[in-house]
Amino acid sequence: MRVAVLGFGTVGVGVYEMLQQAQELEAGPVLVRPGKADAPFKVTDLEQILADPRVDAVAEVMGGVEPAYQYASAALRAGKHFVTSNKALVAARGIELNALARENGAAFLFSAACGGGVPFLHNLSLARESDEILSLGGILNGTTNYMLDAMQRLSLDYGEALQDAQRLGYAEADPSADVSGMDALRKIMLACAVAYDKLPSDGLLNEGIESITAADVAHFRSKGYTCRLLARGGRAGESVSAWVEPVLLRDGAPECAVLENYNMASYEGKCSGPIVLMGQGAGRYPTASAVLRDLSCILHGKLYMFQVDCRRVAADNNCKEQIYYVRLPAALAGDLPVESAELDGDTVRVVTRPISVSQMHVTAQRLRAAGASLFFAAIGG
């Protein structure tokens, strides 16, 4: 199967190289920006690729929703299989692309969009065919895991941890998509859609790591806890729950063993029990290896990750109650149902009574809108 590549950045180069090594796959033309076609295998006109009958599949590794969506649609209409690492594209337009792919008898796969080299979505899509998925989620963003790990093990403050991550290539110059939790949120959206045929596009809750301080980390450590940014999803009545938030885990929890920029994705099958997958969630070759795995799946005849009737829903995050750790101005502690509190100057460190995920996130939003500086994390698994 001949595979054209759209984009020739970090991941594109990796995909192109791996295609040349692969047995049953061939590297087709590579689409680059105008003026960048400095080799015979590079082209600047998508039409050349779509009109080429020898090209069977297209791997999109450009990023961004447009023009990727336009290119994806055109490729599927031309009957080419479509594989992508672009989570923003699949989160925004995956439902439409799935329908278009099926109309045209072409594949639509996106393992590399969630977890880089970690085969999370692939195994989830296979498991749900014969087993009920009770819950899913995990550490789905390497940038934030690197930072939280560095703040803890190297005693760095937030700014130092971010600089360190950027120096190592684990964080972008503009890290907001990662540190805000948005990257992890998009991934849990995709995972819910694969497991439940419901893509939560509304009502999601998202808390990143932008508020954590070195003092917070020192406090957790003194109590034997490690902070990780976790994405969670599951069935919730007729809908699904989906959120991202920091979680404090007791030493010894598997998530504490996830260091640096590694990811840990997991799901619990009713029959299989808990299945945990760990690996590198980003980077040239890990991400490219996931694209190549999807292409191998197409060769075997596995063409889709979204079922026929996959559709958008509003998430329902009212169902799950948790205990939260909240560090906030002492004057505002009354806004939360407090189980215990430790005063520290003007600041108080609270452990709440059980409250819904919705209530916690909404309360935090409200307090911040009123100018309060606060950090919160769910406690335990």
| Contacts with a second copy, residue ranges (CB under 8 A) | 14, 18, 21-25, 117-119, 122-123, 126-127, 129-131, 252-254, 256-257, 269-280, 283, 285-286, 288-290, 292-293, 295-297, 300-302
Shortest distance, position 276 Cβ to a second copy, whole Å: 4
Q: Cα separation of 54 and 51, whole Å?
A: 9
- C-beta closer to a second copy: residue 112 or 182: 112
Query: Tokens 């609270």, residue?
Result: 350
For CA atoms 11, 8, 4, 110, give the dihedral sign: positive
Shortest distance, position 72 Cβ to a second copy, whole Å: 22
Query: Tokens 């596995």, residue?
Result: 302
Q: Cα separation of 79 and 24, whole Å?
A: 20
CB 187 within 8 A of CB 140: yes
- C-beta closer to a second copy: residue 236 or 288: 288
Q: Cα separation of 261 and 170, whole Å?
A: 7
Shortest distance, position 195 Cβ to a second copy, whole Å: 14
Q: Cα separation of 166 and 187, whole Å?
A: 22
- C-beta closer to a second copy: residue 271 or 369: 271
The structure tokens listed for 20 are 């040349």
Shortest distance, position 98 Cβ to a second copy, whole Å: 16
- Dihedral angle computed from the Cα positions of residues 109, 112, 118 and 120, in that order, rounded to the nearest 10 degrees: -40
CB 58 within 8 A of CB 82: yes
- C-beta closer to a second copy: residue 130 or 340: 130
Q: Cα separation of 115 and 344, whole Å?
A: 39
Q: Cα separation of 358 and 254, whole Å?
A: 26
Residue-wise burial string across 319-352, b where 16 or more C-beta atoms lie within 10 A, e elsewhere: ebebebbbbbeeebbebbeeeeeeeeeebbbbeb
- C-beta closer to a second copy: residue 193 or 291: 291
Shortest distance, position 23 Cβ to a second copy, whole Å: 7
Strand partners, 83: 59, 109
- C-beta closer to a second copy: residue 163 or 272: 272
- C-beta closer to a second copy: residue 264 or 315: 264
Shortest distance, position 310 Cβ to a second copy, whole Å: 15
Shortest distance, position 135 Cβ to a second copy, whole Å: 14
Shortest distance, position 224 Cβ to a second copy, whole Å: 14
Q: Closest Cα partner for 112 from 137, 144, 89, 139?
A: 89
Q: Cα separation of 49 and 332, whole Å?
A: 60
- C-beta closer to a second copy: residue 25 or 348: 25
For CA atoms 118, 121, 124, 126, give the dihedral sign: negative
The structure tokens listed for 124 are 């989830």
Spot the catalytic one: 187, 198, 270, 320.
187
DSSP state of 317: -
What is the number of other CB atoms lying within 10 angstroms of the CB of residue 229?
Answer: 28
Reduce the DSSP state of residue 7 to 3 states and report it: coil
In the annotation, is 187 catalytic?
yes
Q: Kindly list the catalytic residues.
A: 187
